[in-house]
Amino acid sequence: MKVYEFKGFPNPTRVRLALAEKGLFDDVEFVQVNVPEGEHRQPAFLAINPSGAVPVLELDDGTQISECSAITEYLDHAKGEASLTGQNAKERALIAMMQRKVESGFLDAVAAYFHHATDGLGPDIETYQNANWGERQKEIALKTMGWMNDKLADQNYLAGDHFTVADITAMAGFDFAGFAQIETPANLTNLLAWRDRVAARPSTKIAA
């Protein structure tokens, strides 16, 4: 398998973490797409993903899968039991719900702040910016951090007692928050403890 990515960027990190958690990291060849220089908007890459976003997983038969949640579906069902996305209807639904809430309310919100209300990747890449939208999304991201902190009062991981794709999505959100210089409020102690817990997993080192 191949993964088209830009190493160190938040969404590629989601796939690296999923690969590492599933023991599939060494089965993949990584192909770098130079996002800061706009390679993701060139015809060659748009033919791979019309959305112009990394990462993309390419299977050995040539099938190209974009969207991180879809890539994780593949990886989680490609080897062993599904451990990241759940094994029955209720588990699957609760994990998908949490993944989506963290994606839209935190990761995507932080990304919108970064791309719209800061210099982002610079004027050549940020060809449309809407600062008011970006600021609004920052408020949403901070609110979601508080909500995640409350969830983590009674459980070790975002979707319950086990590490799942929801935790991966949130970790990528924190990567993006780093780029965007959004600090995690110090009173969110459950969330900060969760970050340390996830960062201590072997997958974090493998993916780095």
* Contacting residues toward a second copy, per CB under 8 A: 50-51, 57, 59, 63, 65-67, 69-71, 73-78, 88-90, 92-94, 96-97, 100-101, 105, 128, 130, 132-133, 136, 147
The nearest distance, CB 126 to a second copy, in angstroms, is: 13
Pure H helices in 33-88? 43-46, 68-78
Asked whether 98 and 164 are in contact (CB, 8 A), the reply is yes
Which C-beta is closer to a second copy: that of 83 or that of 204?
Answer: 83
d(CA 208, CA 12): 11
**Cβ-Cβ contacts under 8 Å for 44 (sequence gap 6 or more):** none
**Cβ-Cβ contacts under 8 Å for 174 (sequence gap 6 or more):** 184, 195
Strands 29-32 and 2-5 come out as parallel
Which C-beta is closer to a second copy: that of 33 or that of 101?
Answer: 101
Which C-beta is closer to a second copy: that of 20 or that of 71?
Answer: 71
Which C-beta is closer to a second copy: that of 13 or that of 137?
Answer: 137
Which C-beta is closer to a second copy: that of 92 or that of 205?
Answer: 92
The nearest distance, CB 59 to a second copy, in angstroms, is: 7
The nearest distance, CB 22 to a second copy, in angstroms, is: 11
The nearest distance, CB 28 to a second copy, in angstroms, is: 15
DSSP β-bridge partners for residue 29? 2
The nearest distance, CB 97 to a second copy, in angstroms, is: 4
| Torsion sign over Cα 57, 60, 64, 65 | negative
